[in-house]
Structure 1
């Protein structure tokens, strides 16, 4: 379980998050929604240790990770897939995946790689191809697969559908749904496409100008016409 309490984060004089509190339940998908500039990406970066909060706390299970450096997060079970599909283009698919397993404290095995190839068959077929040859959708599969190599209990995903065809997005969302159902993975999903995110999520949190303006079950948020029109754009 992820528990956020009173989280406030600033960039110099600009306050990006203000007293944010919510809980992401274990084995569930929680969607974080809101317009550009709402603080969604800052929230993920604060949780994963890339940005230090001014105040408040972040608990992953029994661990207070509020001041934990980003490089220590994989060993605690947290993996972060930032926006942008960042792969190391000079390396092969297999080499990129190996990097994902480095932070968990044990050697990567062929079975670990095979698990990702089973999830994303196209990566298995092209495992020796260099990452610069991949399409946008294949790169998104690779960065998700690389995060899963760390065997996380909590997966942070920032805009995984951005710039992708609807078919590829549906495939990735279906995979996430299966991982949550079968392995108890907890997912915190930042997504601009609120309609798609709420169709996948169990719970939703809506941010506006760095503050939580709604925190409820996904179906409740999807059915609130006033909230949708004011903050979610559909």
Structure 2
């Protein structure tokens, strides 16, 4: 890691619960994918990250979760510095990443997939009591009737519920979600987003939600951040972003 990262650590960091990103810069070879990105995803809030394809949204989540190295900037979970941590250490610290593509282990049953998440939840110290597998079934009842089925037999919506449920069983402080609505029917998206909103309100979870479907994301978000070519071009409460016609047309396709 370059010395620039250490220099960026001198920026003010709020040590309250939640995720704090300051000056984050990431490259793919010569390509600048994130350029000096600042954002905060506080506990008890949904923070939506919006923008067109290629804006840097997925790169942001991959950098925060330790899958990609940052060239500059810092990532903190509360007062814990995760800037140079690898993906396993980031997960143990309390950041759960649900990538695009509904990454279940298809050869395992629904319950076996959930047990993997529960293992991490049991292994890490958490201020929040880890949910149980029965709690996940209560959130997503369609999974309970398929608990002994192989995950490859599930619908796209059920796979998304399963991977979110597995992430929740790790008792995260912050949940990173990459395009959870992609390819799903509107009623399934509404169900998943309603569950997520309920968890934020009831449990104080912090959610950083990457979505190309800006309308759906802003409907459950408290605040939004708009990326364009790796830079933050707007950051405001969700209602303000949704009501900004110029911004919506320029960057959100609405």
Correspondence for 1:143 among 147, 163, 167: 163
1:189 aligns with 2:219: no
Match of 1:10 among 24, 27, 47: 27
Aligned length: 231
TM-score by length of structure 2 reads 0.89
Q: Is the 8 A contact 1:8 1:18 kept in 2?
A: yes
1:167-213 deviation digits (Å, cap 9, x = unpaired): 00000000001000100010000001001111110000000000000
Does residue 133 of structure 2 align to residue 132 of structure 1?
Answer: no
Secondary structure at the counterpart of residue 101 of structure 1: helix
Q: CA deviation at 1:105?
A: 4.6
- Report matched runs for 1:37-76 at 5 Å: 37-76=54-93
Residue 234 of structure 2, aligned match among 214, 227, 230 = 214
Between the aligned partners of 2:240 and 2:96, the Cα distance in structure 1 is 28
1:164 corresponding residue in structure 2: 184
Is there any run of 5+ residues in structure 2 with no aligned partner, and where?
Answer: 1-17, 125-130
What secondary structure does 1:90 align onto? Answer: coil
Contact 1:72 1:103 (C-alpha < 8 Å) held by counterparts: no
The structural deviation recorded for 1:159 is 0.2
Check if 1:91 corresponds to 2:111: no
| TM-score computed with the length of structure 1 as normaliser | 0.96
> Please, what is the CA RMSD of the aligned residues?
1.1
Secondary structure at the residue paired with 2:217? helix
Q: Unpaired runs of 5+ in structure 1?
A: none
1:113 aligns to 2:133 (yes or no): yes
SS at match of 2:107: coil
1:12-42 CA-partner distances (Å, limit 9, x unpaired): 1111000001111211000000000000000
Shift of 1:103: 2.6
Matched, 1:28 2:45: yes
